[in-house]
Amino acid sequence: MAARTIGTTGLRSIVVLLAFGASLVVSTSDTDAAERTEASQRDTIVVHADQDAQTINRNIYGHFSEHLGRCIYEGFWVGPDSHIPNTRGIRNDVVAAMRKIKPPVLRWPGGCFADEYHWRDGIGPREHRPSMVNNNWGGVTENNHFGTHEFFDLCDQLGCEPYICGNVGSGTVQEMQQWIEYITQAGHSPMADLRRANGRQQPWKLTYFGVGNECWGCGGNMTPEYYADQYRRYSTFVRSSSPVFKIACGPCADDYHWTEVLMRQCGGNMDGLSLHYYCGTGNKSRSATRFDEDDWFHLLQRALRMEELVAKHASVMDKHDPQKRVALVVDEWGTWHDVEPGTNPGFLYQQNTLRDALVAAVSLNILNRHCDRVRMANIAQAVNVLQSMILTDKEKMIVTPTYHVFEMYAVHQDAALLPTDVNCADYRFGSEKIPGISVSASRDKAGKIHVTLCNLSTTRSTDATCQLRGIKPRRVSGRVLTSPQMTDHNTFSDPEKVKPASFDGSQVTGAGFRVSLPAKSVVVLEVE
Cross-sheet strand order for the sheet of 416-417? 416-417, 437-443, 449-455, 521-527, 476-481, 501-503
Q: How far apart are the first and last CA of the chain?
A: 41
Which residues share a beta bridge with 353? 489
Closest among 311, 435, 399, 404 to 95, alpha carbons compared: 399
pTM summary value? 0.92
Task: Please indicate whether residue 432 is annotated as part of the active site.
Answer: no
Q: DSSP label at 235? A: H
Query: What CA–CA distance (Å, rounded) separates 275 from 298?
Result: 22
Query: What CA–CA distance (Å, rounded) separates 379 from 107?
Result: 10
The one catalytic residue in 307, 332, 407, 432 is: 332
Task: Determine contact, residues 148/123, Cβ cutoff 8 Å.
Answer: yes
Rg (CA), the chain: 23
The one catalytic residue in 116, 161, 214, 432 is: 214
Query: What CA–CA distance (Å, rounded) separates 221 from 199?
Result: 38
Q: CA distances (Å), 95 to each of 318, 398, 495, in order?
A: 39, 12, 18
Task: Please indicate whether residue 66 is annotated as part of the active site.
Answer: no
Give the contacts of 477 (CB within 8 A, at least 6 positions apart): 503, 506, 525, 526
Closest among 311, 312, 289, 285 to 298, alpha carbons compared: 285
Query: What CA–CA distance (Å, rounded) separates 487 from 101?
Result: 24
Task: Determine contact, residues 244/165, Cβ cutoff 8 Å.
Answer: no
Q: CA distances (Å), 120 to each of 73, 128, 191, in order?
A: 19, 11, 11
Question: From start to end of 109-199, where are the E strands?
Answer: 132-133, 141-142, 161-166
303 burial type by CB count under 10 A (0-12 exposed, 13-18 middle, 19+ buried): buried
- Tell me the residue length of the chain: 528
SS3 category, 93: helix
Digitized pLDDT (tens) for each residue of the chain, 528 residues in all: 544 333 333 333 333 222 333 333 333 344 444 444 444 457 999 999 999 889 999 999 999 999 999 999 999 999 999 999 999 999 999 999 999 999 999 999 999 999 999 999 999 999 999 999 999 999 999 999 999 999 999 999 999 999 999 999 999 999 999 999 999 999 999 999 999 999 999 999 999 999 999 999 999 999 999 999 999 999 999 998 889 999 999 999 999 999 999 999 999 999 999 999 999 999 999 999 999 999 999 999 999 999 999 999 999 999 999 999 999 999 999 999 999 999 999 999 999 999 999 999 999 999 999 999 999 999 999 999 999 999 999 999 999 999 999 999 999 999 999 999 999 999 999 999 999 999 999 999 999 999 999 999 999 999 999 999 999 999 999 999 999 999 999 999 999 999 999 999 999 999 999 999 999 999 999 999
Closest among 276, 218, 221, 220 to 247, alpha carbons compared: 276
Task: Determine contact, residues 98/75, Cβ cutoff 8 Å.
Answer: no
Q: Which amino acid, 425?
A: A
